[in-house]
Amino acid sequence: MVLGAPEIAVPQRRRGTNLPKMGDFNQAVILDSIRRSEEGLSRVELAASAGLAAQTVSNICRRLLDSGLIVEAGKETSGPGKPRTILRLNPRGMYAVGVHIDPALTNYALLDAVGTVLESVVEPTDLDSAPAVAVAAMGARIRAMIDASGIEEHRIAGVGVATPGPVDAASGTVVDPPHMTGWTRVPLRDILMETTGLPVVMDKDVTASAVAELWAGPACDTSDFVYVYVGTGIGAGLVLNDTVVRGASGNVGEIGHIITDPDGPECDCGRRGCVKVTSMPETLAAAAREAGVLPPVDPASTTQLMDDMTALAEAAADGNEAAAAILAQSARRMAGAVSVLTNLLDVSRVVFGGPFWPALAPTHLAQIPPLLERLSVTSSVHSVDVAGTVVNSGEEAFGAACLVMEKTFSPNAAQLLLDSKH
């Protein structure tokens, strides 16, 4: 597509999948089954688990072996008959680059096919240059990372970008995110495609975090969960029935204006007590400062908010009652907002993450589960598990790279329909 060219509006109808695409679908099912099994699988096991004919599985495995995406990893003897060859994902068969853009920092990571981070870099986000120039520089940084790695070009599956919302998913555009002045409709995806020469997938940061959790989190019987991201603001990512929900424009999960306390502080939407205001780290730090828990603001500090949250958590852990009360109130408000989501969607798991989560984790993990239990309308049917993310703070680019993994491995019919439009 030419930069800036207007999209032609065509009525979208659900389209079927043609036969070659169906082959791709079966291939994705096979690849996903192999990826999910820790010990690897034999062709016989694959045929049984995927419900495909032995010949079809054999043909697909041949293709995957030829392309280097999977490898034969020894033989397994179980009972009579000839030993079965075990197939595993080849860690060096495919690589992905992730970029996580935040108003303060931009993280880059290079992952192999099994999700090992081979290389990662953090740089301050350039908000001084024109956005197009700053994004082109990100493209150059990605290219440099790939070139230095010595990985063959055709093994790089693509670049995944996680960005603050709102986004326009159809055009791969960032639309005026908070704290990023001048980033009004930046064609992020097109600029990165042009500067890296690689396929680029883009999502809102919270959605990328949910994808990472789905990919690297504990294997559960049911993959239905809400991912609550605690950054400068509060957002949510949704995974229902093993599928990441993105919404009409890629902006699902804008939970900031769920009211948690009608008498709480005023929000920019004109109402009071929205979770965005009551639970954002800035509000907690201000309350802690007012209560004398935190020292005055240090004008020279560039990490004030993070330092404040760490100090607040430490004070609560050391028995400071005012600090504990502030965090307890925040946990109550957060539980109120989250219960709206868990009740609406009937999910049984909530995962928290984001840069400020580590400071909140001790109090929130202790206090939110019983609160949610009380607020859940389905508590007699199922419990709601509460957990912290498996992705460490500072490794957010991992989630961005997982967007590429999702695109490559996920046997998701909706994804196929999406692809068939191109």
Which among 75-83, 98-106, 260-268, 360-368 is the span making contact with Zn ion, rule CB under 5 A? 260-268
# residues contacting Zn ion (CB under 5 A): 4
Pairing of strands 349-353, 225-230: parallel
Q: State which of residues 21, 63, 84, 257 lies at the interface with Zn ion (CB under 5 A).
A: 257
Instruction: Name the one residue in this structure whose structure tokens are 């680059």.
Output: 97
Number of other residues whose CB lies within 10 A of the CB of residue 222: 12
Least distance in Å: CB of 275 to Zn ion? 8
For residue 267, state whether it binds Zn ion (rule: CB under 5 A).
Answer: yes
For residue 269, state whether it binds Zn ion (rule: CB under 5 A).
Answer: yes
What is the rounded distance in angstroms from the CA atom of residue 368 to the CA atom of residue 332?
A: 7
What is the rounded distance in angstroms from the CA atom of residue 221 to the CA atom of residue 381?
A: 16
Considering beta carbons, is residue 176 or 385 the nearer one to Zn ion? 176
Q: How far, in Å, are 147, 275, 279 from residue 287 at the CA level?
A: 48, 15, 11
Q: State which of residues 274, 338, 391, 403 lies at the interface with Zn ion (CB under 5 A).
A: 274
Least distance in Å: CB of 280 to Zn ion? 11
Q: Which long-range contacts (CB under 8 A, 24 or more apart) does 52-55 make?
A: 52/26
Considering beta carbons, is residue 341 or 387 the nearer one to Zn ion? 341
Q: How far, in Å, are 69, 84, 120 from residue 117 at the CA level?
A: 18, 31, 7
Least distance in Å: CB of 272 to Zn ion? 8
Considering beta carbons, is residue 265 or 370 the nearer one to Zn ion? 265
For residue 170, state whether it binds Zn ion (rule: CB under 5 A).
Answer: no
Which among 13-21, 130-138, 274-282, 300-308 is the span making contact with Zn ion, rule CB under 5 A? 274-282
Among 77, 6, 7, residue whose Cα is nearest residue 421: 7
Considering beta carbons, is residue 274 or 288 the nearer one to Zn ion? 274
Question: What is the token pair recorded at 102?
Answer: 């935040």
* Amino acid identity, position 110: L
Considering beta carbons, is residue 264 or 355 the nearer one to Zn ion? 264
Number of other residues whose CB lies within 10 A of the CB of residue 297: 12
Which among 136-144, 197-205, 218-226, 252-260 is the span making contact with Zn ion, rule CB under 5 A? 252-260
Considering beta carbons, is residue 111 or 228 the nearer one to Zn ion? 228
Least distance in Å: CB of 236 to Zn ion? 15
Considering beta carbons, is residue 118 or 269 the nearer one to Zn ion? 269
For residue 340, state whether it binds Zn ion (rule: CB under 5 A).
Answer: no
Decide: 400 and 209 in contact? Cβ < 8 Å: no
Question: What is the token pair recorded at 97?
Answer: 């680059």
Q: How far, in Å, are 86, 120, 412 from residue 38 at the CA level?
A: 11, 25, 21
For residue 46, state whether it binds Zn ion (rule: CB under 5 A).
Answer: no
The stretches of 253-303 forming alpha helices (DSSP H) are 275-278, 281-290
Considering beta carbons, is residue 63 or 257 the nearer one to Zn ion? 257
Which chain residues interact with Zn ion by CB under 5 A? 257, 267, 269, 274
